[in-house]
Amino acid sequence: MKGHWRKAVLVYPKFDTADTFWSYESSLKMYSPSNEFGLPKRLLPPLGLLGLYRYLKPYYDAVVLIDRNVDPRALAEQLQGGDHVYLGGMAAQEKGLLADATLAKKQGCVVIVGGTAISKQSPLKGIADHLIENEAEAVIGELLAGLKDGRAKAYYQGSPVEPENFFKPDYSALNLDNYVHMAMQISRGCPEKCEFCDIPARFGKSFRVTPVQDTEASFKQLAELGWTGPVFIVDDNFIGNPRRALETLKNLYAMGELIGVHLPKYTELTLRIADQTPIMAELRSWFRKTNFTTSFYGVETPNKAALEETDKQQNLRGDLTIVQKLRLISEQTGSGVLMGMIFGFDSDSDETVDEFIAFINETHVPIVMVGLLNALPETKLMARLLKDGRLIQSSSCNNSDGVINFIPMTFSIQQAETNYLRILRGIYEPEAYFQRVMAHLQLFTSDYVHKGRSRLENAVTVVKILTGLHRRVFWRYLPVAHQIARKRQASDSASYARLIAEFFSLCAQYSHFSIQTENLATQLEQRCYEPWQQFSWQEMLCLPIIAVVLEKQDSQSELSSQITVQLASGYKVSGTRVDVLRVFSMFYLESIVIDNKIEPSLTLPEAIDLEIKAVMQVADHRSEIVGDSDLSAVTIHVREVWAKKPAYLQQLRRIIKGIQEKAGEFTDQ
């Protein structure tokens, strides 16, 4: 089928917000050499399209890949002669996907769109010819056959494929000089069950590992193309299967020996790596041997009740505190730590903000990606918030934009966003940040020489850092970094140079985070809030009901009639009468649990009785919701419908545990 079509154009759209906490654009603009077009380099290439590029080559006379984040040339000109345009991207690129798909359609191209931005609710449905949700490898063959015979479907639902069928990236599609880091995937899937995470729904819980020969081929190609910089292993959870992860690390070491260089690497994994078990100890040792210079850990929060609430049990394991675990990781791997943190759980409050800041500043972790909790599609969190009536909009999937997409439990949307800014300022003010930098330099070790940029490029970057925007801050802390490096290593050693280089790298990153924090402050000052955005969910449930509108009558059961309840704040709760009853019952449930000191260990019959009591209190105090419903039917519904749903008792126990813990904290204060 070689050359069945003339040309395929693969397009990676611009991000909706180019300069985010995750992009490092501020630092790259100020300190990094320019790309081939004279623009700032980007951090990472479009890995998914690199794999599609290799796969499609046998089917087209020419395949072209365009990264709109590095290439400023007019897209319309580059689409000329294209039979098919393949767009891929994330939800944070939705606006770019819509714009590029619209342009491609005007050019007369057949448009295919895939990536994590795609769901059955995607606005691209009305524009693109064909959409692919989840893993494209599962359906790409069917799509191409359909394009050939004119029977291609409008929507394809991908599913987890065997690792032998993973797309294999072709890095020759890129000008590597346009990027600071490269990307590679070795495994997919995560066995954890965090409520806010969409990975299990999209890629499954089973841990699938790329065949070793494919990973080796990718590293060989990068070496042949002259790449000597860092490689981001973009796995969902590198240690999802510890024994397979250990095997992978040993293979990576052998590959490094084979190609003559152990490229610096980083990845994403959980705090299970700090477990006091033989397998985890061995993994920590091999992370050092294979030159993992840093990795990203989903710490999320120091609030134990919030970790319980979101089912992040892996962070609660063992006797060590989270701070101790993070230190152990760096001590035994020699690597740095990137920490992901989230604020906005139901167990969070205005009072926990200072604890949140203090926890971060107690660690040795300079770079902390803090975001407001957002409910993503396909997650248990979104399902719960939707059922509770708290979801207000789809997520931008940029959790560092200062926007929360649901009504928090104990503080308002406005207060959540104000608290977020307070956290960022508390951890990125110079003294706090550089205190963590110095603690990091005390632990950071690299056994390999990094053959990245030339000496001249490094020298130019250092001069820019020491004469740039935050030069006074950097000059203040440079002598401290020098003392630490000299104490740990001889001043003429390569190790000393690496520690000082690490200091300058963290200076450059400080500029980015400092600028981003102040940009967010400006945005929040200009943001206008609706009256309902100034109430917490707990407060919202206590507000007077202004109106109840019957949207759709159910002739069989009044409880199933669709209604909309408007509160005094202007906020509206919609659903069946029984669903709305349950939404408002949560306020009364909390009172009953506290007043009667109900424990989370209650039985199923006790749970049903508890829920019925709460619903009946709503019926007494909010009779307009019940309307003409038969209250005995409510009791039957609780017993026959709610209580028979999977994990009903487990979920209610978790709610009760959270209520009791919050009540205990309040009593202690």
* CATH number of the structural domain spanning residue 142: 3.40.50.2300
* pLDDT tens, residue by residue, 47-103: 999 999 999 999 999 999 999 999 999 999 999 999 999 999 988 899 999 999 999
Which pLDDT belongs to residue 490? 72
Residues 214, 186: contact at Cβ < 8 Å? no
pLDDT of residue 17: 73
Q: Residues 362, 402: one domain?
A: yes
DSSP state string for 262-302:
---EEEEE-GGGGSSSHHHHHHHHHHHHTTEEEEEEEEE-S
CA dihedral 640, 646, 648, 650 (to 10 degrees): 150
pLDDT at 227 over 50: yes
Examine residue 173 and state whether it is found in any structural domain, yes or no: no
Domain-terminating residue out of 120, 135, 164: 164
26-52, pLDDT tens digit by residue? Answer: 888 888 889 999 999 999 999 999 999
Identify whether 531 is part of a domain: no
Across 106-110, 333-337, 367-371, 618-622, least confident range: 618-622
Q: Which of these ranges, 401-415, 582-596, 655-669, has the smallest mean pLDDT?
A: 655-669
User: pLDDT for 518-541, tens place per residue?
Assistant: 999 999 999 999 999 999 999 999
Residue 577 and residue 504 share a domain: no
Give the 3-state secondary structure of residue 84: strand
Residue 172 lies in a domain: no
pLDDT at 37: 94
Q: Give domain status of residue 532, yes or no.
A: no
pLDDT at 500 over 90: yes
In a domain, 386, yes or no: yes
Torsion of CA 71, 76, 81, 84, to 10 degrees: 80
At which of 491, 524, 557 does a domain end?
524
Give residue 666's pLDDT.
Answer: 43
Residue 342, both tokens: 């989230």
What is the residue whose two structure tokens read 């606006």?
Answer: 95
pLDDT band at 401 (very low <50, low <70, confident <90, very high): low
The model's pLDDT over 129-187, given as tens digits with 9 standing for 90+, comes to 999 999 999 999 999 999 999 999 999 999 999 999 999 999 999 999 999 999 999 99
pLDDT number for residue 1: 45
Domains contained in the chain, number: 3
Mean of the pLDDT values across residues 123-127? 92
Is 640 in the same domain as 613?
Answer: yes
Question: Which pLDDT value is given to residue 451?
Answer: 64
The closest alpha carbon to 235, from 195, 279, 184, belongs to 184
Q: What is the DSSP letter of 310?
A: T
Residue 289's pLDDT band, with cuts at 50, 70 and 90, is very high
On whether both 194 and 80 belong to a single domain, the answer is no
Same domain, 491 and 437: yes
Q: Centre a 10 Å sphere on the Cβ of residue 424 and count the other Cβ atoms it contains.
A: 23
pLDDT at residue 669 in the model:
46
478 vs 589: which has the higher pLDDT: 478
Instruction: Give yes or no for residue 396 having a pLDDT over 70.
Output: no
HEC secondary structure over 470-529: CHHHHHHHHHHHHHHHHHHCCCCCHHHHHHHHHHHHHHHHHHHHHHHHHHHHHHHHHCCC
- Averaged pLDDT of the chain: 91
Instruction: Let me know whether 113 and 47 are in one domain.
Output: yes
One domain for residues 160 and 202: no
Q: In angstroms, rounded to a whole number, what is the distance separating the alpha carbons of residues 219 and 107?
A: 38
- Higher-confidence residue: 628 or 225? 225
Same domain, 654 and 626: yes
CATH of the domain at 276: 3.80.30.20
How far apart CA 524 and CA 198 sit, in angstroms, is 28
Same domain, 236 and 293: yes
Count CA atoms closer than 13 A to 424's CA, side-chain side.
25
Share of the chain above pLDDT 70, in %: 95
Do residues 257 and 223 touch, judged by C-beta distance below 8 A?
no
Region 355-362: mean pLDDT is 98
Q: 513 and 594: one domain? A: no
Assess contact for 64 and 90: CB atoms under 8 A: no
Query: Does residue 476 register a pLDDT over 50?
Result: yes
Residue with tokens 């997520």: 395
pLDDT value at position 447?
A: 67
pLDDT band at 454 (very low <50, low <70, confident <90, very high): confident
118 with 239, same domain: the answer is: no
Same domain, 489 and 559: no
352 lies in some domain: yes
Q: What is the C-alpha to C-alpha distance for residues 414 and 417, in angstroms, rounded to an integer?
A: 5
Cβ count near 580 (within 10 Å): 22
Q: What does pTM read for this prediction?
A: 0.90
**Among 129, 164, 199, where does a domain finish?**
164
With contact defined as beta carbons under 8 Å apart, do 374 and 397 qualify?
Answer: yes
Residue 616 belongs to domain spanning: 541-668
The predicted-structure confidence for 300-314, as pLDDT tens digits, reads as follows 999 999 999 999 989
174 inside domain: no
**Would you say residue 364 lies in a domain?**
yes
**What integer pLDDT is reported at residue 30 of this predicted model?**
87
